[in-house]
Amino acid sequence: MTDLMTAIDPRGLIRDSYVIEGITAGECRSIFLDWALFDDHEMAQADRIKALLDHYGEAAPDHPMTIVMRAGLEDQAQPKRRGGRKGRVE
């Protein structure tokens, strides 16, 4: 694993998900959430996800973790109004 991958995925959660045979999308979502919530990193999360996709996703484009990480990028790109007072009052 490169130094960048070690910094982005210090516990190797994402790396390990790619070697588990028969891993499901639900298991990948759980691993991804654990990875996303655990790490306090200087690099923006979207940039870290892109780096992981570049490193792992190109070799396994149909892997459930690749699909989960792509979805994580899409969700970040589409902010939605959540309501509340701040959304109604200028």
CB distance 65 to 19 below 8 Å? no
Judge contact between 74 and 27, C-beta under 8 A: no
Q: How far apart, in whole angstroms, are the C-alpha atoms of residue 3 and residue 32? A: 20
pTM equals 0.78
CB atoms within 10 A of CB 33: 12
* Calpha distance 23→28 (Å, rounded): 7
Can you give the length of the chain in residues? 90
pLDDT at residue 12 tops 60: yes
Tell me: the pLDDT tens digits for 17-71?
Answer: 999 999 999 999 999 999 998 867 788 889 999 999 999 999 999 999 999 999 9
